[in-house]
Amino acid sequence: MRTVASEILQSFTSIGFVCLINHGLDHAKVEEMFDWSRRFFDLPLDHKQLAPHPKSGTHHRGYSAPGVERVSQHIYSQEELENFRKAGQDVKESFEAGREDDPLMPNIWLPEDVLPGFKEACLKFYWDCYELEIRFLRALATGLSLPDTYFLDFHQIADNQLRLLHYPPVADEHLSNNTFSRIGAHSDFGTVTVGGLEVQDPQDHSRFLPIPVIPGAVIVNAGDFMARWSNDVIKSTVHRVRSPPNQVGEDGIAPPRYSIPYDLSTIVDAIPGTWDEGNPKKYEPISAKEYVLKRLAALY
């Protein structure tokens, strides 16, 4: 356990990402959730819009059509956001869900007869991911020489988010010249995220490195909260989604792609041992609600 914990911490402090195998999340469950995701996104648009994401980004639940959400990196002024959105679109559609008893962001589901079993499948997978979250946070705490339950007290409520993402086929030249993006370069604003994408080279910020595909593996990246929590000992690395390596067809079209991120959030102050008189705290304590709502509002 301690060896694995040390390897997780080393990856998080060097690049902010780690690739997990033997993680305990049954591969069959992951494949089943991807199947549900494909079935959802294969529905006609008017069916998917029966679970509409509210116009306000602060209620991040339900379905968003392609081009509605535009991911940015710390852009908050209205003028800057308008200019950013004019520069290009994120070619993706998404569906977001959380725990059923969340008073701040109630879930927005399709009518059950539109896709029977979809709601149940999403909620079951949400809690399967939460169990993986607990195991991972125990290992991370061990790597930081903290009690293995250190992070658990901050994640008992499970204020997390399950996202189903579909990137439709798009001409690769549009991705290359930034006319469109699948998800633009950004850092995540939770504690950690489970997903799959390209990572900014820590030595050359103009380069993005594709994460190798390992069957059955889960990709975990540290978010802005974890960077703040660790006083920047852990990296929240900028990343994006483009064309899968070597999968652009002869017609120049990047094939469709699906991913299922699972975002974790909490209240953040610097972890003991990551700051002292010579290396003081870089950030004031901030609540997940305050920071997440600020970032979500900039997406829509």
Q: Could you report the per-residue pLDDT of 35-66, keeping only the tens digit for each?
A: 999 999 999 999 999 999 998 777 889 999 98
Cα 35 from chain centre: 19
Among 2.60.120.330, 2.160.10.10, 1.10.600.10, 2.170.130.10, name the CATH number for the domain at 2-297: 2.60.120.330
Average pLDDT, the chain: 76
Backbone angles phi, psi at 166, to 5 degrees: -130, 125
Q: Are 90 and 183 in contact (CB under 8 A)?
A: yes
Q: Could you report the per-residue pLDDT of 131-182, keeping only the tens digit for each?
A: 998 999 899 999 989 999 988 877 766 678 899 999 887 655 545 555 444 4
- DSSP letters spanning 51-104: SBPPSSTTS--EEE-TTT----SS--SHHHHHHHHHH-EE--EEEEE--TT-SS
Residues of the chain under the 70 pLDDT cut: 1, 68-90, 156-158, 170-197, 239, 241-255, 265-277, 280-300
Domain ranges of the chain: 2-297
* Interatomic CA distance for residues 161 and 79, integer angstroms: 29
Give the pTM: 0.75
The predicted structure's pLDDT at residue 53: 94
